[in-house]
Amino acid sequence: MAFRFQSWQVYKDARALRKEINQILKTFPPEERYVLIDQMKRAMLSVMLQIAEGSERKTEKDKNLFINRSLTSLFEIVSCLDCSFDDKYINEKQYNDLTLIAKQLRGFEKYIRKSY
Q: Which domains does the chain have, with CATH numbers?
A: 8-114 (1.20.1440.60)
**Each residue's pLDDT tens digit, 74-116:** 899 999 999 999 999 999 998 988 887 777 777 776 776 665 4
Would you tell me how many other CB atoms lie within 10 Å of the CB of residue 85?
17
DSSP state of 59: S
SS3 91: coil
Start-end of H helices in 1-116: 9-25, 38-55, 60-86, 92-114
Q: Which of 42, 50, 57 is nearest to 71 (CA)?
A: 50
**Each residue's pLDDT tens digit, 18-75:** 999 999 999 999 999 999 999 999 999 999 999 999 988 888 888 888 888 998 998 9
